[in-house]
Amino acid sequence: MEKLEYKVTGKVKNYERRFNFYVALSTVGTGVFTGLAVLLRQVLLIETGILLFTTALTILAVNLVLDLTVKSHSNTWVFASPPREIVKRVDRVGKEICEHRPSLLEGDNPVSRLVSKIFKKSWAHFAIILPSFVIFYVVMVVGLIGYQKLGPAGISLVNFASDISWLFWFPLLWLLTWLANGRAWCQTCPFSGQAEWVHRLHPWKKMSKKLGLNLRWPIKYSTIFYSAVGFSVLTWMEEFYNIGGPGVPELTSVVLIYIGALELFISLLFQDRTFCRTICPLSAPLAITTTISPLGTFRAKNPEVCKSCTTKDCMRGNDKFHGCPWFASPGSKENSPMCGLASDCYKACPHDNIDWQVKRFPWLSDLTGGKKRFDIALSVTLLTGVVLFQFLNALPFYSMVDTWLSKVTGWASFAQLLVPGLSKFGYSTQGYPNPLDYFAINVIPILAVLLAAKFEERRGVPLKWGFTSISYALIPIFAASILVRNLPKFLGGSPLILNEILDPTGAGMHNSDIYSTFWGSFLHSLGHDPLNATAAWWVLLVMEAVMAFGIYLGIRASNMLAETDGISKWTYYAVVLGFGITFMLVTYWMSSPASPTAPFYNPYLGNLLYNPLQATPPF
Amino acid sequence: MDPVVLIDVDRCVGCYMCQRACALAQCIEINEVTRFAEVVRPEDCTGCMACERACPYDCIVVLSDETQVPVRAKVTLSRVRRYSSKRLVTGDPGWTVKTGAEEMMREGVGSLIIMNGTKIITETDVLEAWIAGKQDKPLIAFSKDAVTIEGKATVEEALRIMLERGIGHLPVLERGKLAGIISLRDVLRASSVTSPILGESIIPINPREKIEKYAIQVPVVGRVTNRELYYLLKERGLKATVVKDRELIGLISIRDLTKALGTGRSLDDMIEPRWVNPVSSQEQISRAIAIMMEHNIRHLPVIHGEEIRMLSIKEIAKHAVWIKAM
C-alpha cells in the first residue's frame, strides 16, 4: 500500500524535484557566468549575469521556502480563507455593491462603438503592441551605441534609451493606476508581444500548433509572489547601478534585452503567458494597482451564460481564436487583476458575453469579497517596503548608515568588482545600496502589518486572514507612494525625450548643454533643474496631493474592509495612516534644500521645517 | 489509498467544467463563496481523472491508482445518500397521537421522525396508542429510538440493518445531521442499479414466475370494526389483509386504520376497505408488480382456486430479492 502511494504521489514529487533541479542548475550556471564576467571585467556581462542569477535565485529561494513551510503539493496557501461568519457577510455586501457600470464595449456612444469594433479584429492586439515594440527596439539599440556619459548629478539626460525608460515610461506605469489600469501596460508590452508571436507562430492568426514545450508551472509553486520578490531584487539592481537615475544608457539596454530574452525563453518552455503572470517583475505591482484602477478588465457580462457554457472558448480558444493566455478567465471577478487585456476572450466568446467595464469612484470594489489572496497581500507589503526604501534613501541618515554598513561589511570594496569600466562614464559607487539594509527596509511593512494582525489575533481574527485583509488596505498607499516617488522625474524630466526624438543617440550633445535645447530651457523656465536632478518646488505640492489622495483612498478601503472582514476599523487606520503619513513627511523632508544654515536643520533628516517655495524634490 | 486531487487555486476560476465532468461521483463542486473547485466528498472520488481532463487551464492533477477506479466507483454508486429521499416528514414531539395520524395521512407516509432524527414513531405505535385509548396523549410517549444510518454507508449495509431489526425505514445522517430517509423500497430500487460488492450477491427476481409462489394465506374478513381488525392483524403479524363483502373483494391495511384515526373515526366504527380487482394466482409476477406500481399499492388480493390469498410487496422482497453471503 505504501509502495503504491509512493508511486502515485511520486508523479508530482518528481515533477517538482525536476523543476527545482533545473532552477538550481540555472542558479549555479548563471552564478558561474557572473563570476567569469567579473574576472573578465566586462560590466555588461556582469550585469547580465547578476540579472539572470538573481532571477534564478529568486525562484529557487521562493520554492525552497515553500517546500519548508507547505507540506501538501497544492497551492491552497495562496488564499486566506475567511472565518465562517465573515463568509456570509461578504456574500451579502458583494451583492449590494453589484450595480450597473459604464462599459467600454457596450453602449451607444462613439467610444464604445469604436473600441468594441477594433477589439473584434484579430490584429487589434498586434497593432497595439507594434508601436511600443518598435520604440523598445530603438531603445535597446541606441542604449548600446549612443552617448553614455553622465552629467554632474550622475544622471544621463541626452540618450533616448535611458530617458524614455526612466523619465517617462516608468513613472507612466504608476500614473496608469488612475489613468486607466496597471495592466494597460501589459496590453502594450513589447517583450511579451514578441514572445507570444513566436510562441503562437503568427503575430495575430491562430495556428494549429504552439511552439515550445508548453510545460505546466508546478501547482505548488503557482503564485505571483515570485514577481514581487523579483521586483524587489530588480530595484536593488537598478539602485546599485543607478540604472533608473536615469544612469548609463547601455545598462538600461541590458535590462530590457534581459527581460525580452528571458520572456522568449520561458515562453518556449512553459504555457502561454506563464512568464508574464508568474515571474515578470512588473506582474505583481501592476496586478495590485489594477485592483484599485478606474478601468476594469475584460469580465463576463452575465455569469449565468458562463455557467451553462460548455465550450469555454474564452479559456481554451477555438479554431479561429486563442483562449486567454493569462489563465484569467473573464468568468471570475476575483481574477480581474490577472487579466492582461489581451482581448482574446472577447474575440473567442461565442455568446458575446464579454464586457470591459469602468468602475465607479472610489474604484475599490475589487478589494471586497471573501476571496483574498495571501500571496498578493505578501506582495503588497513587500512592494510597499521597496517604495519605502526609495523614500528613505533620499534622507541623509540613510546614506550615513549605508556607507557605514558597506564599509564594515566590506561590501564597498566588493562592489568595485561589479562595476569595472563604468567610472569612465562618470559613475562611481560606495556600494550603495548595501543589500543588508536594503532588504531590511523592504521587510518593514511586512513586520508592521504582521504586528497589526497579531494584535487582531487576540480578538479572535485568524492571523493569516488578518494579515491579508490589512495588507489589502495598503494597496492605495503603495500605488500612490510609488507614483509620488516618480513624479519629479516625470514632471521635471520627461519632456527632454522630445529633444531626443530627432537625435536618439545623443550624438554631439553634452549633458551640461541641455538648457540650451528647446525642451531643456522650457523645463528650466518652469523651475525644474534636471541637470542637478531636482524638480521645481511646486512638484512637492503635487506629490503631497497625490499622497493625500492615496491616504484618502486607503481610509475608504479601510472602511469597506472593516465592514466585511471582521477586523477593527482602527487597526486598518493605524497601518494606512502610519505609512501614509510617513510617506508624506519623508516626501517633505527629502525635498528640503538641505541647507545647514536654515532653521530647524537636522543632520539626519534635512530641514525639518522649511518654506515649500525652497523645495527641491529629488529625481 | 484515497485519490488525491490537487487544485491550482491560483488559476482556478470556478468555471464549473470539473463539476460537470464529475457526473458520476459528484464529489467536486464549485464553492459558491470562494468560487474555487473543491472536493466536497473525498470518499466518493473514484480517481477517474475526468476533472483533470475537463479543466480548461490544467489546474487539476489527480493522483490515483487507476486500477482502483471501477472498485471505487461501485462503492460510490451504492452510497445510501444517493438513494435516500430528501423529503422528510417530521413531527413535533408535543403533538397528540391523533395529530400525528392526521399528518401521516396527509403526507401519505407510515412514520414520522421526531427530535431531529433520534426518535421515530410508526403507524403501529400510533395504533397501539389508539387501542389503549391514549390518542390524545403526546406522540413522544409512544415513539422509539430511531435506528439511523450514515449517508456514506452503502445500501447493502442499510438492507442488512433493516433485515436484522425488521424495520422498513432508516433516517439518514450527514455529519451528524438529519439529511433524509431511506426506505426498503429505496434500497430495492438501488439494488437494481448497483452491483453487489464484498462477496455478496442479489438474487434477481424472475419476472415469469407465477404469483402463487409469493401469495400468502391471510384471514379473509367481512364487515368488522376497526378494533376487531387491529387485534386480528396484530395476532397474525400482518400489515394488511383481504376483505370480502358479497361479490366485492378488497384490501384493508394498518395504513387504513391510521387514516381512520386521522379522519376522526372511532374504534367501534366499521372498517372502510379499498375495493380492488384481484389477480389470478396463475398469472406472472411481473403483471402483479405492474398493477401495484400503477395503483401505488403494496398489497394485492389473489384468486387461488376457491381461496383468496394476498400478495404483498414485502413478501416479494423477502423471498426473492435478497442479499446472500456467497
Task: Give A130-136's long-range contacts (Cβ < 8 A, gap of 24+).
Answer: A130/A193, A131/A188, A132/A188, A132/A189, A132/A190, A132/A193, A133/A190, A133/A193, A133/A194, A135/A164, A135/A190, A136/A190, A136/A191, A136/A256, A136/A260
Going by their DSSP bridges, the two strands B279-280 and B299-304 should be labelled as parallel
User: What's the CA gap between B69 and B49, in Å, rounded?
Assistant: 10
Contact (CB, 8 A) for A298 and A346: yes
CB distance B61–A223 less than 8 Å? Answer: no
* Record: contact A12-B34, CB cut-off 8 A: no
Q: Could you give the CA distance from residue A471 to residue A459 in angstroms, rounded to a whole number?
A: 18
From the CA of B49, how many Å to the nearest CA of chain A?
Answer: 13
pLDDT at A380 > cutoff 90? yes
- Tell me, what DSSP letter sits at residue A343? -
Contact A74 B10 (CB under 8 A): no
How many helices, marked H, and strands, marked E, lie in chain B? Answer: 12, 20
CB A467 within 8 A of CB A451: no
Q: How far apart are CA A138 and CA A159, in angstroms?
A: 11
Helix, strand, coil % over all residues of chain B, rounded to 5: 35, 25, 40
For residue B34, the chain A residues in CB contact (below 8 A) are 79, 81, 370-371
Q: Looking at residues B138-166, what average pLDDT do you find? A: 84
Q: Which residues of A324-340 are buried (b: 16+ CB within 10 A; e: fewer)?
A: bbbbbbbbbbbbbbbbb
Mean confidence (pLDDT) of chain A:
90
Q: Do the chains contact at A8 and B65, CB–CB below 8 Å?
A: yes
b vs e for B87-97, b when ≥16 Cβ sit within 10 Å of the residue's Cβ?
A: ebbebeeebeb
Q: In a 3-state reduction of DSSP, which class is residue A611?
A: coil
The predicted model scores a pTM of 0.83
Handedness of CA A141, A147, A148, A153 (dihedral sign): negative
Is the Cβ–Cβ distance between B151 and B84 less than 8 Å? yes
- What ipTM was predicted for this assembly? 0.86
* Nearest chain B CA: its distance from A558 CA (Å): 21
A423: DSSP letter: G
Residues of A in Cβ contact (< 8 Å) with B57: 315, 327, 329
Give the number of beta-carbon pairs within 8 Å between A and B. 86
A437 versus B191: the higher-pLDDT residue is A437
Contact A87 B33 (CB under 8 A): yes
| A244-256 average pLDDT score | 92
Query: Which of B10, B17, B33 is opposite residue A222, by nearest beta carbon?
Result: B10
Q: Characterize A173-183 residue by residue with b for buried, 16 or more Cβ atoms within 10 angstroms of its Cβ, and e for exposed.
A: bbebbbebbbb
**Cβ(B194)–Cβ(B83) below 8 Å:** no
d(CA A59, CA A24): 9
From chain A, pick out residues whose CB is under 8 angstroms from the CB of B51.
none
A-interface mutation test, from B57, B58, B62, most A Cβ less than 10 A away: B57
Residue type, A424: K
C-alpha cell at A595: 541647507
* Cross-chain residue pair A219–B17, CB shorter than 8 Å: no
Q: In what order do the strands lie in the sheet with B177-183?
A: B149-150, B169-174, B177-183
Rounded to a whole number of angstroms, the distance from the CA of B54 to the nearest CA of chain A is: 10
Find cell 424495520 and name the residue: B167
CB contact under 8 A, B10 and A223: yes
pLDDT above 80 (res B211):
yes
> What's the confidence (pLDDT) of residue A159?
92
pLDDT for residue B323: 44
Looking at residue B203, what is its pLDDT?
58
- Per residue in B57-73, pLDDT (tens digit) is 888 999 888 888 888 88
pLDDT value at residue B318: 58
Residues A220-244, mean pLDDT to the nearest whole number? 94
Residues above pLDDT 70, as percent of chain B: 91
Q: Which three cell numbers stand for residue A104?
A: 467600454
Question: Please, what is the average pLDDT of chain B?
Answer: 82
Region of A54 on the Ramachandran plot (φ > 0 left; ψ -120 to 50 alpha; else beta): alpha
Decide if A3 touches B, using CB distance below 8 A. no
Of residues A181, A381, A191, A383, the one with CA closest to residue A275: A191
Phi, psi of B308 (to 5 degrees): -115, 125
8 Å CB contact of B63 and A1? no
- Mention every residue, 6+ apart, whose C-beta is less than 8 A from residue B267: B130, B131, B225, B226, B227, B230
pLDDT surpassing 50 at residue B322: no
Distance in angstroms (rounded) separating the CA atoms of residues A244 and A272? 30
Cell of B293: 406500481
Distance from CA of B38 to the nearest CA of A (A): 11
pLDDT band with cut points at 50, 70 and 90 for residue B233 = confident
Phi and psi angles of residue B171, each rounded to the nearest 5 degrees, phi first: -65, 140
Contacts of B58 in chain A (CB under 8 A): 216, 271
Give the model's pLDDT for residue A12. Answer: 87
**Confidence check: pLDDT of B196 > 80:** no
Measured distance CA(B1)–CA(A6) in Å, rounded: 10
Query: A interface mutation test: which of B12, B13, B19, B28 has the most A CBs within 10 A?
Result: B13
What local confidence, expressed as pLDDT, does residue A256 receive? 95
Chain B residues within an 8 Å CB radius of A334: 13, 35
Q: Which residues of B touch A78 (CB under 8 A)?
A: 9-10
Q: For residue A208, what is the DSSP state? A: S
Q: Kindly list the distances between the CA atom of residue A327 and the CA atoms of A148, A338, A359, A432, B58, in Å, as whole numbers in the listed order.
A: 41, 8, 22, 39, 10
Q: Best of B1, B4, B8, B65 to disrupt the A interface by mutation (most A CBs within 10 Å)?
A: B8
Q: Is A118 left (phi over 0), alpha (psi -120 to 50) or beta?
A: alpha
pLDDT, tens digit, 9 for 90 and up, residues A280-325:
999 999 999 999 999 989 988 888 888 888 888 998 888 999 999 9
Q: Chain B: residue nearest A316 by CA?
A: B56
- Per-residue model confidence as pLDDT tens digits over B84-131: 877 788 888 888 888 888 888 888 888 888 877 788 888 888 888 888
The three cell numbers of residue A42 are 566586462
Biggest CA pair distance of chain A: 82
Instruction: Inspect the interface and report whether the beta carbons of A81 and B36 lie closer than 8 Å.
Output: no
- What DSSP line would sit under A349-398, residue for residue? -TT--EEEEEPPTT--GGG-SS-EEHHHHHHHHHHHHHHHHHHHTTSHHH
Residue A407 has pLDDT above 90, yes or no: yes
Q: What is the pLDDT of residues A517-534, one digit of tens each?
A: 899 999 999 999 999 999
Task: Write down the pLDDT at residue B168.
Answer: 78
pLDDT band at B321 (very low <50, low <70, confident <90, very high): very low
Q: Is the pLDDT of residue A501 over 70?
A: yes
Find cell 530651457 and name the residue.
A521
Task: Measure in Å the smallest separation between the Cα of B10 and chain A Cα atoms.
Answer: 6
Residue B189 has pLDDT above 90, yes or no: no
| pLDDT recorded at residue B224 | 87
Whether residue A328 is predicted with pLDDT greater than 80 in this model: the reply is: yes
Q: Which residue has the higher pLDDT, B137 or A42?
A: A42
Q: Do B14 and A271 touch (CB under 8 A)?
A: no
C-alpha span between A467 and A449 (Å, rounded): 6
pLDDT of residue B186: 79
Is pLDDT of B198 > 80? Answer: no
Collapsed DSSP state (helix, strand, coil) of residue A78: helix
- Residue with more model confidence, A139 or B97: A139
- A171: CB partners within 8 A, 6+ apart: A483, A486, A487, A489, A490, A494
Cell of B299: 398489497
Q: Is the pLDDT of residue A360 over 90?
A: no
Rounded average pLDDT over A470-483: 96
How many percent of chain A have pLDDT more than 90? 66
Per-residue pLDDT for B197 more than 50? no
Task: Check residue B88 and give its pLDDT.
Answer: 81
Among all residues of chain A, which has the CA nearest to that of B20? A310
What's residue A2's pLDDT?
Answer: 57
Q: What does the pLDDT average to over A466-494?
A: 95
Residue A100's pLDDT band, with cuts at 50, 70 and 90, is low
Inter-chain residue contact A370 with B11, CB threshold 8 Å: no
> Best interface-test mutation with B: which of A71, A76, A306, A353 has the largest number of B CBs within 10 A?
A76
Range with top average pLDDT, A351-360, A550-559, B184-193:
A550-559
Which pLDDT does position B325 carry in this prediction?
A: 38
Residue A346 near residue A119 (C-beta atoms within 8 A): yes
* DSSP SS3 for A8: helix
